[in-house]
Amino acid sequence: MIDPTSKPPGIPLIHALESNLFGAIFEFHKKVMALLRAANLPNDKLAVASERIDHLLRETTEEIKSIQDLNIQPRLDAMYEDVRRMVDELVALGSIRDQMEQIYSETPPGDILWNSETPPKALVELIEAGQVQPCKAIDLGCGAGNYAIYLAGLGFDVTGVDISPTAIALAEADAKRKSVACRFLVADILAGLPEITETFDFAYDWSLLHHVFPLDRKRYAETVHRLLVPGGKYLCVCFSEQDAGFGGTGHTRRTSLGTVLYFSSEDELRDLFAPEFDIRTLKTVPVEGKREPHLMNVAFMEKKLVSPKKRRSRRRT
Ligand SMILES: C[S@@+](CC[C@H](N)C(=O)[O-])C[C@H]1O[C@@H](n2cnc3c(N)ncnc32)[C@H](O)[C@@H]1O
């Protein structure tokens, strides 16, 4: 600690503090990296961990600098303990596939928080306004298939994809019961969907993107892009960072079901999609939910007719 009877702290103290800080933070960083390597977290959890560690480090560094306290080790030790607890929690969370399997197989469909046979207003409005007409469509993260079945009933040729085999079994059974023709497929969209080689006129993900963390989002956007024909339409709906649910603040939040989700800003979605899609509308609106409405980002876009990358390479040749 700084001796209060000593001369007022001047530049040498700040230098000492900064070099002390630098060395201690370097050591802290090494220990955290070893912890993360040993935990071998999948990418979505690694993204959660990195974001929280960055945040903790920034806060602690600012605090230490503002009080000019040279004895920073106890704070870094306490911070390391926080990080260790968080990593343990993340390890205990299990994979998204296991979590979704557990939810779909242990909860009656009517009690699953997002599962509703009534198609959401934002989707219905697009159809009723004629902005999307019956065509070849893909539902990414289709869950129990409600919206895929709704669209198929309107004459769309729909493929639904979900990571949970139980969700897909529910979707298939419901389509059969309603005598609606739909294709359903169990697959992890983050693996790029190599099993789907055809293209679609319309893609939508309703409440899927908040399961995809920043580290995976570029790859996800590339997959959506590959699946669409040029000019193909795309509706993306995910939780907004402005929503007050599940802890109320921050990008990463844990739900009552134990899932960890990423709440996005409009700017993040714009940065992610604008390079390859023309964004027609992007708004943050309350969307009906079973318990209460949630503020969600609703983005409707079209795949650019010519990819900017191709345009650049054409110009060069
Ligand atoms: C909140 S639910 C929404 C389901 C459906 N769209 C609806 O609104 O009823 C998110 C869905 O995305 C699926 N999911 C999450 N990550 C996925 C991934 N990487 N690949 C495929 N499906 C995924 C989950 O299994 C779950 O069914």
Q: If you measure from the C-alpha of residue 239 to the centroid of ligand 1, how many angstroms do you get, rounded to a whole number?
A: 13
Report which ligand 1 atom has the smallest distance to the Cα of 114: 9
The pLDDT score that the predictor gives to residue 68 is: 65
Report which ligand 1 atom has the smallest distance to the Cα of 115: 9
For 148, left (φ over 0), alpha (ψ -120 to 50), or beta? Answer: alpha
The pLDDT score that the predictor gives to residue 301 is: 98
Residue owning tokens 């964004």: 279
Q: If you measure from the C-alpha of residue 41 to the centroid of ligand 1, how many angstroms do you get, rounded to a whole number?
A: 20
User: For 113-152, how does the pLDDT look when each residue is reduced to its tens digit (9 = 90+)?
Assistant: 999 999 999 999 999 999 999 999 999 999 999 999 999 9
pTM of the model: 0.77
Q: What is the residue with the minimal CA distance to atom 3 of ligand 1? A: 207
Token pair, residue 263, equals: 């709440």
The pLDDT score that the predictor gives to residue 247 is: 86
User: For 256-275, how does the pLDDT look when each residue is reduced to its tens digit (9 = 90+)?
Assistant: 888 889 999 999 999 999 99
Please give all residues whose beta carbon lies within 6 A of any atom in ligand 1, as ranges: 96, 100, 114-115, 141-143, 146, 161-164, 167, 188-190, 206-208, 211
Q: Looking at this protein, which amino acid is placed at residue 244?
A: A
- Domains along the chain with CATH numbers: 11-92 (no CATH), 96-316 (3.40.50.150)
Please name the residues in contact with 107: beta carbons below 8 A apart, sequence gap of 6 or more: none
Q: What is the residue with the minimal CA distance to atom 16 of ligand 1? A: 211
Q: Where are the beta strands (DSSP E) in the chain?
A: 136-140, 157-162, 183-186, 200-206, 228-239, 252-254, 260-262, 277-287, 294-303
